[in-house]
């Protein structure tokens, strides 16, 4: 695997681990809680959306796989167990690794098309997913803090 791609993969693996750690370290009743109704998302929704986005961008767009992502459904996700979500994280991580292992320098210099974004570079796709994960990890951490603050007020 190209050293550049190894760094990208390591970054994604760290982000996935941090996102999942937020869920694992949160009380179960926090998983589906939202700070302010329809304008915010729960920890479970954010974690589901992050892995859906990775699948969509890496497997479907970068790798040319079947388009199976259902983005609207990600925002309806709820859970009382992490087992299915953990399995999905593992499945998508394996998809990503398999695709990344095959990337060449020529691939990295190439572009892919997505209707909502037009032509984007392969590097942009990878960096977009890393950035996307970071943004939602921050939202998850803030949601956790807001939940803890709401328990103090009561």
Question: Could you tell me the residue ranges of all domains in the chain?
Answer: 3-153
55 DSSP assignment: I
Q: Quick check: helix, strand or coil at residue 66?
A: coil
Span 3-153 CATH architecture: Up-down Bundle (1.20)
Model pTM score:
0.95
Distance between CA atoms of 103 and 71, rounded to whole angstroms? 26
Q: What are the residues whose beta carbons fall under 8 Å from the beta carbon of 86, sequence distance 6 or more?
A: 20
Mean pLDDT of 50-78: 98
Residue of 61 and 36 predicted with greater confidence: 61
In this prediction, residue 150 has a pLDDT band, given cuts at 50, 70 and 90, of confident
* Span 65-88, average pLDDT: 97
Give pLDDT, residue 39: 85
For 23-35, b where at least 16 C-beta lie within 10 A, e where not — what string? beebeeebbebbb
Say if residue 11 is exposed, middle or buried (CB neighbours under 10 Å; 0-12, 13-18, 19+): middle
Task: Categorize the per-residue pLDDT at 96 as very low, low, confident or very high, splitting at 50, 70 and 90.
Answer: very high
List strand residue ranges (DSSP E) for 26-89, in order. Answer: none
Q: What is the DSSP letter of 99?
A: H
b/e burial code for range 51-86 (CB count within 10 A of at least 16 → b): bbbbbbbbbbbbbeeeeebeeeebeebebeebeebe
């Amino acid at each position: 695997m190209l050293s550049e791609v190894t760094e990208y993969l390591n970054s994604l693996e760290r982000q996935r681990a941090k996102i999942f750690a937020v869920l694992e370290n949160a009380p179960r009743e926090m998983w589906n809680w939202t700070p302010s109704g329809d304008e915010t998302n729960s920890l479970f929704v954010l974690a589901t959306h992050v892995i859906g986005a990775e699948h969509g961008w890496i497997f479907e767009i970068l790798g040319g796989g079947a388009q199976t992502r259902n983005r609207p459904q990600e925002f309806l996700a709820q859970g009382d167990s992490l087992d299915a979500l953990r399995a999905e994280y593992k499945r998508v991580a394996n998809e990503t690794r398999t695709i990344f292992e095959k990337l060449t320098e020529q691939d990295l210099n190439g572009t892919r098309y997505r209707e909502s974004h037009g032509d984007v570079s392969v590097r942009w796709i990878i960096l977009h997913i890393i950035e996307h994960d970071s943004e939602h990890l921050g939202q998850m951490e803030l949601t956790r803090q807001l939940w803890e603050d709401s328990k103090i007020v009561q």
